[in-house]
């Protein structure tokens, strides 16, 4: 019996496994998410699993410089940023179970071994680790029609081997029409402008040497693959020519579903998975998506992002959320990178040029004084400001120092001997020294005060947004801060969640991270509110320097 969402359990799950060849950073995740979007557009319930073959249990302790942003799911899981792409492309919320890491699998198997669950057997990679991997993939797919399973890294990585072995076994355990292997690979150009297939041939050879035969090959190349290139790949990789697809560079990642649809990838995959009969006709697919992501824009704005990691991936969800607000309002949003540690240089110049200022989340002390300076500049010059998590906290610090004259006010995270710890540890964090998974994480509800800017932004009296923090507004300072003119328009019990200033066109901070719930099809309210303020700002004199 089909369920309300159309999922028919009697038909079982279909799995699309996505591997990557030649090198990382090819956009394998975007390709996989784009295919997922198209299958959704064809009328199926689609979910995704990202396999990360590293030993970390989760991404929570990972450095954004190496791995980009730590993405937070509604259940509080701290996961690889690719999960953010899946949520944005599929429009579905995921949970911790959708990010499988080597660390998670081994931790579980070793715990079971210690508990005696294996009844004295020798515990081995095959079958115990591979069984656990298969179990996790099957469980994450439950209740959906198609599960896209992306294996992180590149074929040939030692760490990926147990996962690929698990997928090989998987293929034996399921009907042929329930499994599809897709290999995303690089097709570079030679100096004389020829598309070269040798790297693809080698990576498929490597795949086949471990018992995996791709059903579909997707070539990442600056341009479309030439028919001759496709024929060559087909011949050497033992796939039909019409199973080789181009995935050329596009200027906007949200156009990838449209380019691979033009190539016919969705139809091929639906056919291979015996889903064509149940799919809605091609002409009805992706229209809503196309309308949204190819909207004409009128005008552009410059937004300064004042952070400490000079790497776009470290703030990817903020970049995307700004873009989604831009889609909503039909304007192009340019993000100007401002390094909070580089005030007094061209970074400060960019800050002064910006139409709006965003101060993102972060940890530790580096760059905090620069952020506080940027916030002061936004406050005194009436520049629209959005502070996110650490940005919210630094707005409280700036206000305490410069409006309430609390000299040396700070967050206890940055200065543990401050005379005015206006931002302090969450009570439940006191005395904790294990840095893995000790934060206030995930979706929590905020009560919004009626007739405030926050109420206008959300059009509601509550909001549910995702959190990732250890520190918060110190309750002892709330009366002073409110007395001085700062309104905490969003609260969760005694926790301050949203702040705003009355005598400013748009000065808003959120203790949570609204960027994690923003989608191309549903922009985040604080980002839209911020952009509206940017668009309606009339030039105000900017007198105060940092």
User: Which residues are the active-site residues?
Assistant: 389, 513, 515
Nearer to ligand GLN, 162 or 361 (CB): 361
- 340: contact with ligand GLN by CB under 6 A: no
Q: Which residue, 73, 48, 69, 60, is CA-closest to 464?
A: 73
- 363: contact with ligand GLN by CB under 6 A: yes
Footprint on residues 409-438 left by ligand GLN (CB under 6 A): 413
Mark the segment that binds ligand GLN (CB under 6 A) among 24-32, 124-132, 357-365, 453-461: 357-365
Structure tokens at 140: 């994450």
Within 8 A by CB and 6+ apart from 329, the residues are: 528, 531, 532, 535
Nearer to ligand GLN, 44 or 315 (CB): 315
CB of 370 to ligand GLN, least distance (A): 15
CB of 210 to ligand GLN, least distance (A): 40
CB of 428 to ligand GLN, least distance (A): 13
Alpha carbons 167 and 187: distance in angstroms, whole number: 25
Footprint on residues 121-180 left by ligand GLN (CB under 6 A): none
Residue showing tokens 């499988």: 100
DSSP string covering 349-372, please? HHHHH-SEEEE----SSTTHHHHH
Query: Can you give the length of the chain in residues?
Result: 546
Asked whether the beta carbons of 147 and 174 are under 8 A apart, the reply is no
- 84: contact with ligand GLN by CB under 6 A: no
Alpha carbons 324 and 224: distance in angstroms, whole number: 28
Mark the segment that binds ligand GLN (CB under 6 A) among 106-114, 219-227, 330-338, 356-364: 356-364
Q: Which residue, 265, 253, 249, 263, is CA-closest to 35?
A: 265
Footprint on residues 470-489 left by ligand GLN (CB under 6 A): 470-471
Nearer to ligand GLN, 258 or 359 (CB): 359
Q: What is each CA distance from 3 to 11, 78, 145, 272, 364, in whole angstroms?
A: 12, 30, 11, 24, 48
CB of 223 to ligand GLN, least distance (A): 40
Nearer to ligand GLN, 44 or 530 (CB): 530
Footprint on residues 92-111 left by ligand GLN (CB under 6 A): none
Structure tokens at 152: 């992180």
Q: Which residue, 542, 474, 464, 451, is CA-closest to 510?
A: 464
CB of 101 to ligand GLN, least distance (A): 21
Alpha carbons 305 and 40: distance in angstroms, whole number: 34
Nearer to ligand GLN, 236 or 363 (CB): 363
CB of 396 to ligand GLN, least distance (A): 11
CB of 439 to ligand GLN, least distance (A): 6
Angle among Cα 263, 267, 268 to the nearest 5 degrees reads 85
Residues near ligand GLN (CB under 6 A), total: 10
- Report the run of H or E that residue 72 belongs to, with start and end: strand 71-72
Which positions from 444 to 473 touch ligand GLN by CB under 6 A, shown as an x/- string? Answer: ------------------------xxxx--
- 361: contact with ligand GLN by CB under 6 A: yes
CB of 62 to ligand GLN, least distance (A): 14
Q: Does residue 274 come out as left (phi exceeding 0), alpha (psi in the -120 to 50 range) or beta?
A: left
Nearer to ligand GLN, 356 or 367 (CB): 367
Comparing every residue's Cβ against ligand GLN, the nearest one is 361
Among 68, 362, 373, 525, binds ligand GLN (CB under 6 A): 362
Footprint on residues 376-405 left by ligand GLN (CB under 6 A): 389-390
Q: Which residue, 491, 492, 510, is CA-closest to 500?
A: 510
Alpha carbons 13 and 544: distance in angstroms, whole number: 61
Task: Write the burial class of residue 387 (CB in 10 Å: 0-12 exposed, 13-18 middle, 19+ buried).
Answer: buried
Mark the segment that binds ligand GLN (CB under 6 A) among 96-104, 125-133, 276-284, 355-363: 355-363
Alpha carbons 238 and 216: distance in angstroms, whole number: 10
Nearer to ligand GLN, 258 or 314 (CB): 314
Nearer to ligand GLN, 110 or 435 (CB): 435
Q: Which residues bind ligand GLN (CB under 6 A)?
A: 361-363, 389-390, 413, 468-471
């Amino acid at each position: 019996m089909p369920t309300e969402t159309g999922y028919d359990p009697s038909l079982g799950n279909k799995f699309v496994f996505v591997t990557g060849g030649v090198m990382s950073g090819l956009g394998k995740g975007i390709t996989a998410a784009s295919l997922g979007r198209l299958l959704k557009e064809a009328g199926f319930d689609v979910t995704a699993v990202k396999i990360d073959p590293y030993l970390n249990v989760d991404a929570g302790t990972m450095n954004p410089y190496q791995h980009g942003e730590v993405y937070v799911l509604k259940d509080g899981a701290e996961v690889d940023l690719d999960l953010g792409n899946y949520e944005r492309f599929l429009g579905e919320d995921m949970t911790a179970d959708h990010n499988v890491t080597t660390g998670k699998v081994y931790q579980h198997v070793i715990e079971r071994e210690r508990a005696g669950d294996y009844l004295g057997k020798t515990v081995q990679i095959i079958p115990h680790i591979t069984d656990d991997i298969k179990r996790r993939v099957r469980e994450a797919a439950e209740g959906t029609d198609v599960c896209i399973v992306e294996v992180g890294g590149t074929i040939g990585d030692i760490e990926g081997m147990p996962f690929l072995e698990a997928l090989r076994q998987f293929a034996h355990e399921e009907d042929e029409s329930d499994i599809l292997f897709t290999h995303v690979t690089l097709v570079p150009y030679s100096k004389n402008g020829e598309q070269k297939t040798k790297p693809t041939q080698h990576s498929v050879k490597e795949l086949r040497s471990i018992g995996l035969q791709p059903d579909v090959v997707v070539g990442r190349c600056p341009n479309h693959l030439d028919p001759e290139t496709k024929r060559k790949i087909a011949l050497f990789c033992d796939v039909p020519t019409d199973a080789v697809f181009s995935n050329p560079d596009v200027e906007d990642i949200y156009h990838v579903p449209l380019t691979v649809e033009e190539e016919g990838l969705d139809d091929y995959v639906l056919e291979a998975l015996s889903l064509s009969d149940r799919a809605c006709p091609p002409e009805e697919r992706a229209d809503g998506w196309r309308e949204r992501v190819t909207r004409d824009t009128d005008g552009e704005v410059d937004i300064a992002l004042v952070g400490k990691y000079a790497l776009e991936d470290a703030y990817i969800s903020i970049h995307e959320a700004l873009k989604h607000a831009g889609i909503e309002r039909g304007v192009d949003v340019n993000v100007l990178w401002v390094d909070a540690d580089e005030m007094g240089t061209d970074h400060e110049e960019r800050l002064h040029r910006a139409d709006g200022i965003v101060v993102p989340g972060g940890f530790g002390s580096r760059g905090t004084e620069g952020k506080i300076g940027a916030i002061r500049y936004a406050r005194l010059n009436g520049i629209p400001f959005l502070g996110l998590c650490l940005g919210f906290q630094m707005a409280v610090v700036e206000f305490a120092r410069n409006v309430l004259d609390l000299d040396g006010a700070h967050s206890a995270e940055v200065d543990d001997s401050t005379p005015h710890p206006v931002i302090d540890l969450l009570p439940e964090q006191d005395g904790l020294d294990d840095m893995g998974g000790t934060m206030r994480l995930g979706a929590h509800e905020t009560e919004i005060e009626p007739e405030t800017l926050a109420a206008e932004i959300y059009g509601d009296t509550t909001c549910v947004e995702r959190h990732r923090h250890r520190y918060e507004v110190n309750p002892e300072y709330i009366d002073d801060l409110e007395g001085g003119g700062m309104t905490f328009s969003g609260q969760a019990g005694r926790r301050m969640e949203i702040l705003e200033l009355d005598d400013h066109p748009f000065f808003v901070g959120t203790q949570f991270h609204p960027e994690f719930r923003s989608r191309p099809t549903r922009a985040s309210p604080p980002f839209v509110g911020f952009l509206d303020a940017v668009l309606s700002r009339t030039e105000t004199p900017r007198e105060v320097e940092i």
